[in-house]
């Protein structure tokens, strides 16, 4: 698998009602068109008849079908099994806009990982409601767009952002953006907006989680990366982690420790998203 | 320190308003009566004038004061600094009653650790609202008391338990007891009842945390040991830990993984409690 | 997947030179004989032409072939792809002998997990070079065989054990057995002997790892479960974990903390072994 | 404690033969000169008569002695108890040179933490045997000194570095410097050179630890921050951590995962070093 990772791959993400023959059919399809499978994973839920989820990657080199031919040739199989499906070419990097406010730790981390080719995505721009982090974007030669958000004008302000992004990006990262997104923004990027929340959800939903963690006297603090949905901090969780703390930690210490967890969890979530490893099911994720 | 650990020690737990001279006075007191300090830790909160907390241990061997003389000789210092204080002799093991229902994993683990001398306490008895785990108690030659709890008679039933325990025990462990304690029980053992809750509180307060964790699609599950107070699952947290999980884990898998976390967290909490390492402050703990 | 887990499954473990068509062929074989795949995982190494590894599980219910028919029907496929393969029926629990010396923590833990049906195996007997832990075996109604090992007579003594076990067991667990196995024992159970070593290998190979960890002043200690090979502590690693420690920890504290890691790591390794999730490749494992 | 953390403090680091009265004497000294103790920790080894270690911090505000008066007034106590001691004023930030080669992850991380005031030190310069990372230094406005190291001229080349640093810095960080230091450099900064080694020592001492971890098939990889001594990778360990890995991880994956561990472990070590929390004892550290 590893050697192929640097070779272009094509990945199918599939979900459909469970029934015998799905794996056989899909793997035969790939084989018949000269694809060599390099990774394959599947999962079936145990609800009712069961939903089947699959991620299957094969080398693009040698595969007999063009991208459009792949679509038309696979569609009959998808129809037969009532699949929801998508296809991802590793050569086609996803394009992203990173949203920030004034805190720079998540942004700096993402930019470094992107520069180091750890995160294989194209950053279209940095969007912020403050001019604060313009220098950080400049360090990496990236465009920085300042879109102030007014208390009364949030809907209009975010409409401007949406218009600005149109056609430019595939997904959004909220790297401590600190602004609630309007439903029309969320709906425009369903399961394509990754937020980092600075607590181990569902603990400390909402504002000031570190202060509340301090007041509650917890012995660990955490961070959660999740897709954004209409309900604040309730979208499908992609990744979570925690770090231990104790009575010596002030709120400032929790914030400092938490920054490290936030950065790692967000980077993890972004990496698996860009590698097309995530399927969603209700408010849950399947991470292959 | 280690070598002295097997030697008898005397430990003072102290809290008082912060002011200069406390450490100097207490350490001088110990020195003058020929105590050799083997461990010392302190903490000051940053609220207002600050509350000072201290745990100081010295070898009993060579110490010039008897237990009653220690009390009377130290009291003037305690009065001068307006201390709340307690003294703990390592030779005098705390006596405990372990409360269980039908699940045996926490009980089995505690009994093994006790038998292995990892937990230095005297187990007076196992109390249960079911006869289920009598054999486990018998394996270790421990008395098992079956106190059924009726839906309508909980107060009376728990009064019987309280009467039974009177004078027998210093603290209680709820090792997955699954019964809410009446306020008069909680008040009889303030900060002396350790409960294990099967979630990383404050997430999933209340019943069925694993089912709810599964439904929420979290990527880690945890356990919390805390002192029991009048408010369910809101007492001071002593220890917490988590374990990673993913979409492959069914509720049964979460329960299985969680058992390991519960056992470790509860054992940790019991050990530091028996070693007199915990001070409480509002609904928080200071663990030295 | 979860719901089927309680239903009987058949699992194929396969390794062979990588080439296109393996997944398609195997999944088609299962489909044609009315097997419903419930789990499937694969991996390809990047050495030379690549070795392909696969674990594929399907429900036994409804599968059209008997166990012997499965063998004969699948063999042509195996030959075609030059597969090494094995088949595992979840209904047929693996039989095990647990080897111990004087320390009881790993044994106690395994027995509790077995009793709780966490580990789906049949324990044929407990083997020991000391009579020390007979009571622990008795607690669970298990036969305990005392086979003393003489300094000069180890080969003969272990030959007796091997003869005793013949036909009784599928694999062995060394639960802190503290005796080196003769090559003829190792060869009789290739990749079927699980040992727990009390360090994070390759650190502290050999005797007294906790003492050496203490002397080196490490900040974490660990445990490693591995298959036993001719070379001490160098067999394929199945599972590893660590726990933090610090200058306060004496050797006794490291031993205490280490016991918890050893128990968890060994139980993990045994569980994945019994579920036929491990393939070996040189001195490495692939854990599906 | 927390509130005082932002206030200037004075910290004493003390080690001496254990005997009664040390804590009483030191705390009395601080009290008599109007210091308010904000943090205090101690440890006694169990070798022979025992060595006593102490770190005690008190607020500078209100303390009656000047820095030179503190020295002369405390010296008689130090002499009486045969102490090795040092004093650290939080207002006086330690000055550091960061040594790098071509890899930027540790450097970038340190610079960001320094800029964010997480690491309270003054960076005198970045030293490298390659010009590669000059831009990273420039991003933060820091001087970058390129000191090539010749195969035959290492001693002379490092002598130049030593001369250059003379009087400029208190300690050195080897942030993946990849060059062995000459003994005269090590001796010039005893226990003042922090190296990050990319394995959980003592596993994989020396070169290419990730390749060797891959070959050994370990299930976790780690990083170790330690003081540099004459013996490669054998100096006192300050901090260690690990991350899990599995058969899917190529060497490149291990390197990627390892970068995160290296960064966190090195930052941890640097923070506790700058806060004067480390005492050494033979080849071990005591971290208060």
pLDDT of residue B67: 97
Distance CA D222, CA C247 (A): 20
Instruction: State whether D200 and C201 contact (CB < 8 Å).
Output: no
- Is there a single domain that holds both residue B77 and residue B172? no
Report the candidate in A211, A132, A217, A216 with the shortest Cα–Cα distance to residue A175: A132
Catalytic residues of B: 233
Helices (H) and strands (E) in chain C, counts: 9, 13
- Is there a single domain that holds both residue B233 and residue B121? yes
Q: Which residue of C has its CA nearest to D235?
A: C216
pLDDT of residue A46: 74
Distance CA D64, CA D85 (A): 20
Cβ-Cβ contacts under 8 Å, B112 against chain C: 105, 108
Average pLDDT, chain A: 95
DSSP single-letter state for residue B75: H
pLDDT of residue C49: 65
Tokens, residue D92: 């006086």
Instruction: State whether A217 and B284 contact (CB < 8 Å).
Output: yes
- Is there a single domain that holds both residue B10 and residue B107? no
The label of the residue with tokens 């795949």 reads C37
Q: What is the pLDDT of residues C170-191, one digit of tens each?
A: 999 999 999 999 999 999 999 9
What is the phi/psi pair of residue A26, to 5°? -65, -45
Contact C91, C45 (CB under 8 A): no
- Is there a single domain that holds both residue D139 and residue D282? yes
DSSP single-letter state for residue A26: H
Instruction: State whether C217 and D284 contact (CB < 8 Å).
Output: yes
Chains that touch B (3 or more CB pairs under 8 A): A, C, D
Cβ-Cβ contacts under 8 Å, C282 against chain D: 217
Distance CA A180, CA A199 (A): 17
Distance CA B260, CA A100 (A): 39
B121-128 vs B94-100, strand pairing mode: parallel
Q: Out of A27, A37, A44, whose CB is closest to C38?
A: A44
Span between the terminal Cα atoms of chain D, in Å: 14
Contact C37, C11 (CB under 8 A): no
Contact C9, C93 (CB under 8 A): no
pLDDT of residue B255: 97
Of D56, D89, D122, the one marking the end of a domain is D89
Chains that touch C (3 or more CB pairs under 8 A): A, B, D
- Whether the predicted pLDDT of C201 surpasses 70: yes
DSSP letter for each residue of chain D? -HHHHTS-EEEEEEEEE--TTHHHHHHHHHHHTT--EEEEEEEE--STT-EEEEEEEEESTT----HHHHHHHHHHHHHHTT-EEEEEETTSPEEEEEEE-S--HHHHHHHHHHHTTSS-EEEEEEEESSSTTHHHHHHTT--EEE----TTTHHHHHHHHHHHHTTT-SEEEESS--SPPPHHHHHHTTT-EEEEESSSTTTT-SS-HHHHHHHHT-SEEEEEEEE--SSTT-SPEEEEEEEE--TT--HHHHHHHHHHHHHHHHHHHHHHHHTT-EEEETTEEEE-
- Is there a single domain that holds both residue B205 and residue B245? yes
Q: Which residue of A has its CA nearest to C34?
A: A20
Quickly state the pLDDT bin for D4 (edges 50, 70, 90).
very low
Query: By three-state DSSP, how is residue B60 classified?
Result: coil
Q: How far is C121 from chain B (nearest CA, A)?
A: 17
Interface test with C, best of B256, B270, B277 (most C CBs within 10 A): B256
What is the phi/psi pair of residue C150, to 5°? -85, 150
Helices (H), chain B: 2-5, 22-32, 67-80, 105-115, 134-139, 154-165, 183-188, 209-216, 251-274
Instruction: State whether B3 and D50 contact (CB < 8 Å).
Output: yes
What is the phi/psi pair of residue A258, to 5°? -65, -35
Distance CA D109, CA D100 (A): 12
Looking at residues C195-209, what average pLDDT do you find? 96
- Whether the predicted pLDDT of A49 surpasses 90: no
Report the candidate in C115, C60, C118 with the shortest Cα–Cα distance to residue C90: C60
Cβ-Cβ contacts under 8 Å, D203 against chain C: 200-203
- Is there a single domain that holds both residue C71 and residue C128? no
Contacts of residue D260, Cβ cutoff 8 Å, sequence gap at least 6: A264, D243
Q: How far is A273 from chain B (nearest CA, A)?
A: 16
- Is there a single domain that holds both residue B50 and residue B187? no
Looking at residues B15-34, what average pLDDT do you find? 95
Distance CA D107, CA D136 (A): 8
Q: D18, D109, D233, D249: which is the annotated catalytic residue?
A: D233
A43–chain B Cβ distance below 8 A for any pair: yes
Q: What is the pLDDT of residues A110-134, one digit of tens each?
A: 999 999 999 999 999 999 999 999 9
- Is there a single domain that holds both residue D176 and residue D81? no
Instruction: State whether C217 and D204 contact (CB < 8 Å).
Output: no
Instruction: State whether D41 and B46 contact (CB < 8 Å).
Output: no
Average pLDDT, chain C: 95
Give the rounded percent of residues in chain A with a pLDDT score beyond 70: 97
Instruction: State whether B220 and A241 contact (CB < 8 Å).
Output: yes
Chains that touch D (3 or more CB pairs under 8 A): A, B, C
Containing A263, the helix (H) or strand (E) segment is helix A251-274
Of A71, A89, A107, the one marking the end of a domain is A89
pLDDT of residue B232: 84
Cβ-Cβ contacts under 8 Å, D42 against chain B: 37, 39-40
Long-range Cβ contacts of B80-85 (<8 Å, 24+ apart): B80/B25, B81/B16, B81/B17, B81/B19, B81/B22, B81/B25, B82/B16, B82/B17, B83/B14, B83/B15, B83/B16, B84/B14, B84/B15, B84/B16, B85/B12, B85/B13, B85/B14, B85/B15
- Whether the predicted pLDDT of D3 surpasses 50: no
C203–chain D Cβ distance below 8 A for any pair: yes
Contact A225, A239 (CB under 8 A): yes
Report the candidate in D228, D246, D226, D245 with the shortest Cα–Cα distance to residue D237: D226
Distance CA A174, CA A113 (A): 16
- Is there a single domain that holds both residue A77 and residue A112? no
Q: How far is D174 from chain A (nearest CA, A)?
A: 20
A191–chain B Cβ distance below 8 A for any pair: no
Cβ-Cβ contacts under 8 Å, B105 against chain C: 112, 116
Distance CA A61, CA A259 (A): 41
Looking at residues D176-203, what average pLDDT do you find? 96
Q: Out of B21, B28, B44, whose CB is closest to D1?
A: B44
- Whether the predicted pLDDT of C46 surpasses 90: no
Contact A100, A128 (CB under 8 A): yes
- Whether the predicted pLDDT of A193 surpasses 50: yes
Instruction: State whether D242 and C248 contact (CB < 8 Å).
Output: no
Contacts of residue C96, Cβ cutoff 8 Å, sequence gap at least 6: C121, C122, C123, C124, C169, C170, C171, C172, C173
The CATH number covering residue B169 comes to 3.40.50.170
Distance CA A11, CA A66 (A): 14
Distance CA C274, CA A135 (A): 56
Instruction: State whether D253 and A2 contact (CB < 8 Å).
Output: yes
Containing C195, the helix (H) or strand (E) segment is strand C193-197
Distance CA C76, CA C57 (A): 19
Q: Is D116 exposed, middle or buried (0-12, 13-18, 19+ CB in 10 A)?
A: middle
Instruction: State whether A247 and B201 contact (CB < 8 Å).
Output: no
Cβ-Cβ contacts under 8 Å, D280 against chain C: none
Distance CA B137, CA B122 (A): 14
- Is there a single domain that holds both residue C145 and residue C171? yes
The residues facing C115 across adjacent strands are: none
Contact C236, C191 (CB under 8 A): yes
Q: What is the pLDDT of residues B181-224, one digit of tens each?
A: 999 999 999 999 999 999 999 999 999 999 999 999 999 999 99
- Is there a single domain that holds both residue A41 and residue A105? no
Distance CA D21, CA B28 (A): 7
The label of the residue with tokens 């930027």 reads D104
From residue A274, alpha-carbon distances to A277, D39, D42, D247 in Å are 8, 47, 49, 22
What is the phi/psi pair of residue D143, to 5°? -65, 140
Q: How far is C39 from chain A (nearest CA, A)?
A: 7
Quickly state the pLDDT bin for B3 (edges 50, 70, 90).
very low
Tokens, residue A172: 């959004």
Looking at residues B236-256, what average pLDDT do you find? 97
The CATH number covering residue D54 comes to 3.30.70.260
Looking at residues A225-250, what average pLDDT do you find? 95
Instruction: State whether B283 and A217 contact (CB < 8 Å).
Output: yes
Average pLDDT, chain D: 95
D108–chain A Cβ distance below 8 A for any pair: yes
- Is there a single domain that holds both residue D197 and residue D260? yes
Looking at residues C12-18, what average pLDDT do you find? 97
From residue B32, alpha-carbon distances to B70, D22, D37, D55, D83 in Å are 12, 12, 21, 22, 21
Catalytic residues of A: 233
DSSP single-letter state for residue C47: S
Of D30, D54, D89, the one marking the end of a domain is D89
pLDDT of residue A7: 86
Distance CA D2, CA D11 (A): 15
Containing C43, the helix (H) or strand (E) segment is strand C37-44
- Whether the predicted pLDDT of D2 surpasses 70: no
How many domains is chain B built from? 2
Q: What is the dihedral of CA B250, B256, B259, B261, to 10 degrees?
A: -70
Domain that holds residue B72: 2-89
Q: How many CB pairs under 8 A join A and D?
A: 24
Cβ-Cβ contacts under 8 Å, C220 against chain A: none
Looking at residues B164-176, what average pLDDT do you find? 97
Report the candidate in A71, A76, A69, A63 with the shortest Cα–Cα distance to residue A35: A63
Helices (H) and strands (E) in chain B, counts: 9, 13
Q: Out of C2, C256, C264, whose CB is closest to B250?
A: C2
pLDDT of residue B2: 37
Q: What is the pLDDT of residues B260-279, one digit of tens each?
A: 999 999 999 999 999 999 99
- Whether the predicted pLDDT of B6 surpasses 70: no
Instruction: State whether D247 and C286 contact (CB < 8 Å).
Output: yes
CB atoms within 10 A of CB D170: 17
Quickly state the pLDDT bin for D49 (edges 50, 70, 90).
low
D20–chain B Cβ distance below 8 A for any pair: yes
């Amino acid at each position: 698998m590893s050697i192929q990772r640097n070779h272009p791959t094509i990945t199918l993400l599939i979900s459909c009602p469970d029934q015998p023959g799905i794996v056989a059919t899909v793997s035969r399809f790939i084989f018949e068109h000269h694809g060599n499978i390099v990774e394959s994973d599947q999962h079936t839920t145990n609800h009712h008849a069961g939903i089947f989820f699959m991620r299957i990657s094969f080398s693009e080199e040698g595969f007999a079908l063009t991208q459009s031919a792949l679509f038309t040739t696979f569609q009959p199989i998808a129809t037969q099994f009532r699949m929801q499906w998508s296809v991802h070419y590793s050569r086609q990097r996803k394009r992203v806009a990173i949203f920030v406010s004034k805190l720079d730790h998540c942004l700096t981390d993402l930019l470094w990982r992107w520069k180091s080719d750890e995160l294989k995505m194209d950053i279209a721009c940095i969007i912020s409601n403050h001019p604060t982090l313009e220098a950080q974007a400049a360090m990496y030669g990236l465009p920085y767009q300042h879109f102030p958000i007014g208390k009364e004008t949030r809907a209009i302000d975010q409409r401007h952002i949406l218009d600005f992004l149109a056609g430019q990006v595939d997904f959004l990262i909220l790297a401590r953006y600190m602004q609630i997104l309007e439903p029309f923004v969320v709906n425009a990027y369903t399961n394509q907006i990754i937020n980092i929340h600075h607590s181990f959800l569902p603990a400390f939903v909402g504002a000031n989680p570190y202060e509340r963690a301090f007041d509650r006297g917890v012995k660990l603090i955490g961070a959660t990366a999740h897709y954004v949905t209409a309900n604040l901090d309730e979208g499908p969780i992609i990744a979570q982690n925690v770090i231990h703390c104790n009575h010596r930690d002030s709120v400032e210490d929790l914030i400092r420790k938490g920054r490290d967890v936030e950065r790692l969890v967000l980077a993890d979530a972004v990496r698996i998203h860009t590698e097309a490893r995530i399927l969603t099911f209700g408010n849950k994720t399947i991470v292959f």
